[in-house]
Amino acid sequence: MNTAQLFADDDEFLEWTKDHPEAYVINFRANRSADYIVLHRASCRTITVSTQASGSLTAGAYRKAGSPDPKVFDSWIPKNIAGGQCVSDECIICKPRK
């Protein structure tokens, strides 16, 4: 995959994370502000578990994009998040680059 896949449906997102547990996901605000773009592993519980209604993972306050290669986000973020240049933080739970 040469680009990131943007998810608009929780079921599609959760299926993708199950099929690609070693892949990467960026979690960002629905308003696409550049101040919050967090990198996770696709298997991270902080982005795959929700107690909210269906749609809360991908259609609520946050959006998700996934890719097998985290370097893909280096070009995807500037094109899709206004003012965004790169990941702003990495998840302290799943430690995606370790």
Compute the distance between CA of residue 73 and CA of residue 3 in angstroms, rounded to an integer. 8
Cα radius of gyration rounded to whole Å, the chain: 12
The model's pTM = 0.92
User: How far is 19 from 68, CA to CA, in rounded Å?
Assistant: 11
Does the pLDDT at position 1 exceed 70?
Answer: no
pLDDT tens digits along 40-97 = 999 999 999 876 667 789 988 999 999 999 999 999 999 999 999 999 999 999 999 9
3 Rama sector, left if φ>0, alpha if ψ -120 to 50, beta otherwise:
beta
Q: Where are the domains of the chain?
A: 5-90
Which amino acid is residue 44, in one-letter code? C
pLDDT at residue 51, rounded to an integer:
65
**CA 24 remoteness from chain centre:** 7
